[in-house]
Amino acid sequence: GIRPDLPSYSAIIKACEAGGQWQWALALWQQMADAGLKPDAVAFSAVIGACYAGEQWDWVLELSWRMRQCGIKPGQQLSRLIFAACEKG
């Protein structure tokens, strides 16, 4: 069968963010990891944005920690979301 690639997962997770579906975003994130795909900055940004939109501050912080563990630095916009989550969480 057809297997989704990293850009496909990122796009679907981004759509979850737009639709306010943070739970689906996290489920897809896990599915992506189970498929052996290593997240990039776009994927991290999408899932962190979805969790932020869903006011899941602990997940925002957890995922930002994982992002740094992968050696990926957040951009300016994502850094603002992470700092805002620190203030709210």
Digit-coded pLDDT (tens) for 13-67: 999 999 999 999 999 999 999 999 999 999 999 999 999 999 999 999 999 999 9
**pLDDT on residue 1:** 80
| HSE-CB of 42 using CA atoms within 13 angstroms | 12
Please say if the pLDDT value at position 89 is more than 80. Answer: no
Are 26 and 47 in contact, with CB atoms under 8 Å apart?
yes
Looking at residue 73, the DSSP 8-state letter turns out to be -
Residue 81, SS3? helix
Are 46 and 76 in contact, with CB atoms under 8 Å apart?
no
Which of residues 1 and 14 earns the better pLDDT score? 14
Are 67 and 82 in contact, with CB atoms under 8 Å apart?
no
**Mean pLDDT calculated for residue range 82-87:** 89
